[in-house]
């Protein structure tokens, strides 16, 4: 049977001051009127039922996630600590293997914006099929829409039948010139949307991931705390996919965005005739290409260009769009009583 | 004796959302840590005692003005309606004349920023002296520091002794090129700082101001309500000074600003090394020439230039400095529930 694992942790500093540790981006309606986590589960409808969908989150967020998404607590995996996507997905896959020895797993994140749901569903089915058909770890490579320097790229190799291709190599965050070359050569964005059979993933971990493999025994024994206490924090990409020979890529022809910064809202939200994104009680005059959001305080923006204006959680952020990527650095320099949102 | 009349009405929309009908700009600490009204009274210390200082305001503001400035209610004149500076100053002067037939009056506004208090005091004394000495209406002309198009200009005429000059003409709000020519020709800003003897002002009103003169009888009879119900709204400049031949100008060699817009704060407030004005809990990163003010909500500004960012009264305003002069028009277009601050 097909299962899904939804990664839904995250500290939520990228959408400060709207996001907070108790309300990270998957619990915010960033891309539409519903939260990105809700949209993620909606996206699985007709594809994988809730009974076969596991959500991985942390202890702080779990009660909110369960209530908000009406989850069966048995399908919520609470990480004892955050150790990146590697241990999370390996644990979830091992858990699925216990429940269903023939399982194939679709791995995705709870905080994405996806443009075309039908294309997403078709691609997910292709990826799951390819994972079984070729017995490989399958990554969905998104056809790039811009020379993004913040993403990893996948260079496809030879075809593996009609549905997938081998992977020639992975390339992490290139510079802009390299990104353009990669795109010209047919490289795809490494989205984090994966499919594998449970046995294949665990076999590849045993073969290539010494940071995790020796500790799988704790999962077999049901000792999750010991597993997380023992493993090294590592991404599934670096720890497994980039080391394995049994990988494949399926192209995804749909808009995909990980909504990494406020800047992303200009891509995933509708804009007015002047290119402004306006969410909440914001009045915009004679302004262009601004991104504005208020959670209640009336905001007036006039004569601005390329500004990000956010009023949320009793704080105000005014940022040039060119400075949006530096928000983390800006936050680090803030006094804690301003930065920390309870 | 010398008396002072302080004009302290005003609806207070220019500093929205910090200002409001119940807290217009004279009750805000715009230029420093004290309100402009308090600074105005401070400025008169040693020059004219509080017992000879009348404050003209409206019914809504009067209780606040009395409490805030610790005024004797007998020295507070409450206008039944706002009819511009003409009727206000004529009423106040007529009132002073009743109390002191030999009075000279210094007229000023409660919402100015003045750079050099000693120069202000010396100029005020010169203006009062010249008003008696030449028996003319004296206007203090500020030596311009920029080709301001929002002010009126005074072109001085021949000297009247060492202390004053006649007025060749008044010019209202010139365009920028004309302002430069006026400054090159020695024209001065018409500040609204005036001096006159009470009999001379009332004589000039009787001779030149049909909008007010026939109604002076109501003041003589103590019927202020009837006076304001009868007069036409008119400025003292247009209604009296520009029509009178008995005018003189005394130059003022001090920084004077009527703090007409948020933009003015860049002139009257100290700036950081990057030219930013920062008032209240605002953290500014890598920004230049911004004007920021918060009355409590933490504000973070990053990567901005020439932006005005105001968080006050549970509203946020983000304005390009080039759009600051249009604030009134922007406010007019706002929904009343956003615009109107209770």
What secondary structure does DSSP assign to B288-341, as a single string?
BS-EEEESSS-EEEES-BSEEEEEETTEEEEEEGGGGGGHHHHHHTS-HHHH--
| Interchain CB distance below 8 Å, A307 and B302 | no
pLDDT band, residue A342 (cuts 50/70/90): confident
Residue A336 and residue B207: Cα distance in Å, rounded? Answer: 67
Task: Provide, rounded to the nearest whole percent, the portion of chain B with pLDDT above 70.
Answer: 99
Task: Give tens-digit pLDDT for A170-222.
Answer: 999 999 999 999 999 999 999 999 999 999 999 999 999 999 999 999 999 99
**Segment A131-160 mean pLDDT:** 96
Written as tens digits, the pLDDT of chain B (342 aa) is 999 999 998 767 889 999 988 888 999 999 999 999 999 999 999 999 999 999 999 999 999 999 999 999 999 999 999 999 999 999 999 999 999 999 999 999 999 999 999 999 999 999 999 999 999 999 999 999 999 998 999 999 999 988 899 999 999 899 999 999 999 999 999 999 999 999 999 999 999 999 999 999 999 999 999 999 999 999 999 999 999 999 999 999 999 999 989 999 999 999 999 999 999 999 999 999 999 999 999 999 999 999 999 999 999 999 999 988 889 899 999 999 999 997
Task: Give tens-digit pLDDT for B132-163.
Answer: 999 999 999 999 999 999 899 999 999 998 88
- Interface probe for B, chosen from A261, A300, A304 (most Cβ of B below 10 Å), is A300
Q: Is the dihedral of CA A329, A334, A338, A340 positive or negative?
A: positive
Per-residue tokens: B97: 């004349």
Residue A47 and residue A122: Cα distance in Å, rounded? Answer: 9
Q: For residue A73, what is the DSSP state?
A: G
How far is residue B331 CA from its own chain's centroid?
A: 22
Per-residue tokens: B252: 């003022």
Cβ neighbours of B300 in A, within 8 Å? 17, 315-319, 330, 334, 338
DSSP B89-145: HHHHHHHHHHH-TT-EEEEEETT-EES-HHHHHHHHHHHHHHHHHHTSEEEEEEPPS
| Domain range list for chain B | 2-257, 262-339
Cβ neighbours of B280 in A, within 8 Å? none
pLDDT of A11 above 70: no
Q: How high is the pLDDT of residue B22? A: 83
ipTM for the predicted complex comes to 0.89
Q: Residue B172 burial by CB count (10 A; 0-12/13-18/19+): exposed, middle or buried?
A: exposed
**Segment A115-130 mean pLDDT:** 97
Cβ neighbours of B320 in A, within 8 Å? 302-305
Neighbours of B313 (CB within 10 A): 18
A245 interfaces chain B, CB cutoff of 8 Å: no
Task: Please work out, in degrees rounded to the nearest 5, the angle formed at the alpha carbon of residue B135 by the alpha carbons of B134 and B137.
Answer: 100
Mean of per-residue pLDDT scores for chain A: 95
Residues β-bridged to residue A310? A293, A317
- How close B326 comes to chain A (CA, Å)? 9
pLDDT band, residue A92 (cuts 50/70/90): very high
Backbone φ and ψ of B193, nearest 5°: -90, 115
Backbone φ and ψ of B242, nearest 5°: -75, -15
User: In sequence order, what are the residues at sequence separation of 6 or more whose Cβ sits closer than 8 angstroms to the Cβ of residue A66?
Assistant: A73, A76
Q: How high is the pLDDT of residue A326? A: 84
Q: In this structure, which CATH number among 3.40.47.10, 3.90.550.10, 3.30.1360.70, 3.20.20.70 belongs to the domain B2-257? A: 3.90.550.10
Residue B317 and residue B299: Cα distance in Å, rounded? Answer: 12
Q: For residue A14, what is the DSSP state?
A: T
Cβ neighbours of B17 in A, within 8 Å? 300
Task: Give tens-digit pLDDT for A258-282.
Answer: 998 999 999 999 999 999 999 999 9
By the 8 A CB rule, do B194 and B202 touch? no
Neighbours of B322 (CB within 10 A): 11
Q: How high is the pLDDT of residue B137? A: 98
A338 vs B283, B305, B319: nearest CB: B283
């Amino acid at each position: 049977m097909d299962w899904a694992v939804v990664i839904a942790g995250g500290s939520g500093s990228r959408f400060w001051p709207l996001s907070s540790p108790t309300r990270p981006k998957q619990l915010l309606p960033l891309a539409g009127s519903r939260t990105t986590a809700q949209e993620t589960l909606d996206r699985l409808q007709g594809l994988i039922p809730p009974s076969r969908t596991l959500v991985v989150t942390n202890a702080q967020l779990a009660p909110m996630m369960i209530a908000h998404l009406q989850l069966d607590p048995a399908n919520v995996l609470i990480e004892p600590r955050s150790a990146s996507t590697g241990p999370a997905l390996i644990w979830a896959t091992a858990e699925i293997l216990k429940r269903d020895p023939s399982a194939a797993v679709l791995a995705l994140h709870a905080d994405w914006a996806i443009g075309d749901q039908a294309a997403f569903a078709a691609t997910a089915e292709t990826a799951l099929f390819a994972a079984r058909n070729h017995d490989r770890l399958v990554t969905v490579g998104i056809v790039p829409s811009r020379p993004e320097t913040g993403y990893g790229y996948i260079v496809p190799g030879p075809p593996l039948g009609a549905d997938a291709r081998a992977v020639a190599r992975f390339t992490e965050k290139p510079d802009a010139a390299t990104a353009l070359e990669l795109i010209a050569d047919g490289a795809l964005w490494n989205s984090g949307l994966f499919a594998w059979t449970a046995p294949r993933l665990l076999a590849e971990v045993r073969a290539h991931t010494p940071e995790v493999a020796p500790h799988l025994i704790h999962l077999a024994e049901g000792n999750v705390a010991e597993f997380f206490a023992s493993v090294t924090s590592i991404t599934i990409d670096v720890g497994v996919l980039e080391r394995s020979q049994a990988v494949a890529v399926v192209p995804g022809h749909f808009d995909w965005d990980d909504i990494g910064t406020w800047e992303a809202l200009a891509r995933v939200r509708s804009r007015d005739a002047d290119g402004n994104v306006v969410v909440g009680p914001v009045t915009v005059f004679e302004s262009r290409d601004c991104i504005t959001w208020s959670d209640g305080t009336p905001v007036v923006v006039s004569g601005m260009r390329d500004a990000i204006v956010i009023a949320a959680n009793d704080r105000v952020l005014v940022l040039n769009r060119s400075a949006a990527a530096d928000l983390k650095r800006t936050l680090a320099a803030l006094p804690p009583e301003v930065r920390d949102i309870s």
